[in-house]
Amino acid sequence: MAGILSGWPVRKFLALTGARVPIVQAPMAGAGGVALAAAAIRGGAVGSLPCAMLTPDRVRAQVAEVRSQAEGPLNLNFFCHVLGEPPDEAGWRRLLAPFYEAEGVGPPATPPPLRAPFDAAMCDAVVELRPKVVSFHFGLPEPPLLDRIRAAEIVVIGNATTFAEARWLLTRVDMVIAQGFEAGGHAGHFLEGYRPEGTLALARRIALEADAFLIPVIAAGGIGDAEGIAAALRLSTAAVQLGTAYLHTAEATISAAHRAALGGETVVTNLFSGGLARGVRNKLTDAIGPVHPGVPRFPYASAALTELRRVAEADGRGDYSPMWAGQAADLGRSSTGESPEGAQALTERLARETFELLGETP
């Protein structure tokens, strides 16, 4: 009987991406960047850069940096949300007024740049750079932009949080991420709102459907060790996407407060961006409640928090910060108290342990 690693899903994932192991390092704005992506690539995984908060020129610069440090598959990740007209933030600022008073600050006079949806200028940069992979959150870009990416022979990955979203994606992309509710960060729902499904059940259902299309499925959410990776691969998925596991590494750019909080209770909240995302509970989520109807829609909520975040983070506190983490965060915690493991070493170790669990060699 053929082994899991020799089955078509894993083989096709490795062939499409050029990775040596069936792992994607998740793109995580504020937590990862050039150093993390390059280290993951050196370890044999697909390294990812979060690009939704970057300008096209910054994307060009970061891609050049990664390519100077590592040779292998790079994924550029973008958001496909619709900005629309800015909402009225008066109610949100009233909710935050007691915190402004306690911290001695107010809302920013000049709001910071918003997370931007993928557009023509960014598409120009992607076609010019020709990364091995491009992934999209919150659906896909408009067909003319997607057509340009496909014409450049770039592998396209879409993110599904439900079986219905996966069915919609299967005829439009090269691979599908099955993102369960256990995942840290933003839920990438785009069809019928937030309808949480568990990672393994969702990944298995999508993998069975995707078999007819020969589309590899990548499981994401709540997978933090080799046992979790092996479990996902046994369900006919092609690979896993790991985010929170990499937060423990030396290359993660999270704050000391965020790093210390990993392994704490997580909640799905809309307070930090307006979009539903999983992170470690903190002072703000406890005081207001993780989800509040008065929060402006994604991505507008974050601007009103910038000054609160600034003073608290300067004081070593994560009281108002989005400390994104998945439900398996504690699986990555070192039990020895040693210095953080490097991302390359983590990737290599997880791959080795997974292969041993499966009784196979890559």
Contact indicator for 203, 237 with CB cutoff of 8 Å: yes
What pLDDT sits at residue 340? 87
What pLDDT sits at residue 140? 98
Axis crossing angle, helix 120-129 with helix 56-69, rounded to the nearest 10: 20
Contact indicator for 238, 12 with CB cutoff of 8 Å: yes
DSSP labels, 115-182:
PPBP-HHHHHHHHHH--SEEEEESS---HHHHHHHHHTT-EEEEEESSHHHHHHHHTT-SEEEEE-TT
pTM of the full structure:
0.96
What pLDDT sits at residue 338? 65
Domain boundaries, the chain: 4-82+117-254+334-358, 87-114+265-324
In degrees and rounded to multiples of 5, residue 244 shows phi and psi of: -60, -35
Q: What gap in Å lies between CA 231 and CA 221, rounded to an integer?
A: 13
Contact indicator for 83, 114 with CB cutoff of 8 Å: yes
Per-residue pLDDT of the chain in tens (362 residues, 90 and over written 9): 368 999 999 999 999 999 999 999 999 999 999 999 999 999 999 999 999 999 999 999 999 999 999 999 999 999 999 999 999 999 999 999 999 999 999 888 877 778 999 999 999 999 999 999 999 999 999 999 999 999 999 999 999 999 999 999 999 999 999 999 999 999 999 999 999 999 999 999 999 999 999 999 999 999 999 999 999 999 999 999 999 999 999 999 999 999 999 989 999 999 999 999 999 999 999 999 999 999 999 999 999 999 999 999 999 999 999 999 999 999 886 534 568 899 999 999 999 999 999 998 77
Number of Cβ within 10 Å of residue 149's Cβ equals 21
Contact indicator for 276, 301 with CB cutoff of 8 Å: no
Q: Does domain 4-82+117-254+334-358 have CATH number 3.40.1350.10?
A: no
